[in-house]
Amino acid sequence: MEFDFPLWPELLNKMPGEMDKPLISRRLVDSDSSLAEASNEAPKVGILGSGDFARSLAIRLVGSGFSVVVGSRNPKRMVGLFPSAAQVTFQAEAIGSPEVIFVATFREHYSSLCGLSDQLAGKILVDVSNPTEQEHLQHRKSNAEYLASLFPTCTVVKAFNVISAWTLQAGPRDGNRQVPICSDQPEAKRVVSELAHTMGFMPVDMGSLASAREVEAMPLHLLPSWKVPTILALWLFLFFYAYNFIRDVLQPYVQEGKNKFYKLPLSVVNTTLPCVAYVLLSLVYLPGTLAATLQLWRGTKYRRFPDWLDHWLQHRKQIGLLSFFCAALHAIYSVCLPVRLSYRYDLVNLAVKQVLTNKSHLWVEENVWRMEIYLSLGVLALGTLSLLAVTSLPSIANSLNWREFSFFQHYLQWPMHGSATQVTTVDKKDMAHVYSGILWGLKKEE
């Protein structure tokens, strides 16, 4: 089966930058005379449905140069919600001339369209729906496969279900560009892929319609690539927090009877965060070294890595961003240290002790230098780590060429590693207190 779906050469030849900007503002959408009437030569696209996604889809299609016909059960009530260039009519009238029709309705409403099966014969139906988690587990067939079973004379294509209504209105620069597309007909996938490209998105061929279940599950996953790194970071935090609690709070209480449990909410957390950040940072670059060593030992780079190493390599970006998150929290917690009443009490007690001992000038050269070096190295480490974190984001990394990206990710790691290591070793006598007492220049005479 072949489909004749002419696309303007001017639309297909648009520069990518022209498709990044928002096409239509809210003020223009709400105005009846905002959009010029679409040309009669514009390729016509139909939409069945009048919900939020259908409205955003119509806005994007009109702004991309298509002639849009919207089919609604109550067109008179819905016409004011769509751009004036889009024709809003009854469903039976909307599916007459378009060869590509977006089905923007819920699965339970598919059966209400069965009366239009004769008029829809031979057309491309683009299913944009998403099931809930319960529906996804309950039904063996995907929404797209169920739609195809109801309309066997049509060609069903699964697409645009991972794109939000906001992304359609604001432009793909503010959201994900990729549009997974799957169908049993290659020609139908080509037509929808060209349509997605004209709208400013990046079509991704996911294969046959059997992949629709996997495509529909994508919006149901909550940060799937972050699960393992987050669990790792939480376990590291609990381990170091327990160690610092035993050392800084429990041990003084048991051995000397000193009550330092007030340190639990802030001081112990602040001491734990840089430890977690540094270990996570080491885990970002360690798998690369292991992979290179394994390739040298095998004598080839064409053999597959073990599954554990492969998964580790794939999670490096998430581990690095969690390291940056812990380092940034450590910096914020450190700024909050002087606000504590315990800090003020220590400062007053130190002043009283200085008066009682008849000391007019308190200056410990070693601690002064230690604090200055600590602060300088800490700022340098956090600054370089910020650059590494920002350049690892897809929106930034895609704007860099390979040489620029490798410069940030490869060469900047050395000063960052060096400064971070020196921060943790600047006080060799008592590393647990380097993030609290030395930071503010307090010499605790206990």
Tell me the pLDDT tens digit for each residue of 417-439: 888 877 766 644 444 343 344 33
Q: What are the counts of helices (DSSP H) followed by strands (DSSP E) for the chain?
A: 22, 8
Note the Cα 34 to chain centre separation in Å: 34
In percent, how much of the chain has pLDDT > 90?
Answer: 54
The tokens describing 315, both together, are 């999670």
Q: What is the DSSP string of 305-330?
A: PPHHHHHHHHTHHHHHHHHHHHHHHH
41 confidence band (pLDDT: 50, 70, 90): low
Residue 31 has a pLDDT of 40
Residue 57 has a pLDDT of 95
**Residue 375 above 50 pLDDT?**
yes
320 confidence band (pLDDT: 50, 70, 90): very high
Q: How would you classify residue 88: left for phi > 0, otherwise alpha for psi between -120 and 50, otherwise beta?
A: beta
Higher confidence at residue 232 or residue 367?
A: 232
* Each residue's pLDDT tens digit, 77-104: 999 999 999 999 999 999 999 999 999 9
- Residue 411 has φ and ψ, to the nearest 5°, of -80, -30
Classify residue 240 by its DSSP letter.
H
The residue-averaged pLDDT of 174-178 equals: 68
Spatial CA neighbour of 142 closest among 191, 210, 74: 210
Name residue 251's amino acid.
Answer: Q
* Each residue's pLDDT tens digit, 15-24: 333 334 344 4
pTM, to two decimals: 0.69
- Residue 309 has φ and ψ, to the nearest 5°, of -75, -35
Residue 426 has a pLDDT of 61
Question: From CA 352, how far away is CA 354, in angstroms rounded?
Answer: 5
Lowest mean pLDDT, pick from 39-43, 215-219, 228-232, 412-416: 39-43
The residue-averaged pLDDT of 39-44 equals: 72
Question: From CA 187, how far away is CA 178, in angstroms rounded?
Answer: 20
* Each residue's pLDDT tens digit, 186-220: 999 999 999 999 999 999 999 999 999 999 999 98
Question: From CA 151, how far away is CA 238, in angstroms rounded?
Answer: 55
Largest CA distance in the chain: 101
Question: From CA 391, how far away is CA 398, in angstroms rounded?
Answer: 9
In percent, how much of the chain has pLDDT > 70?
Answer: 84
Say which residue the tokens 């080491």 belong to: 282
Name residue 371's amino acid.
Answer: M
Contacts of 229 by beta carbon, 8 Å cutoff, 6+ apart: 315, 318, 319, 322
**Residue 30 above 60 pLDDT?**
no
Mean pLDDT, the chain, integer: 83
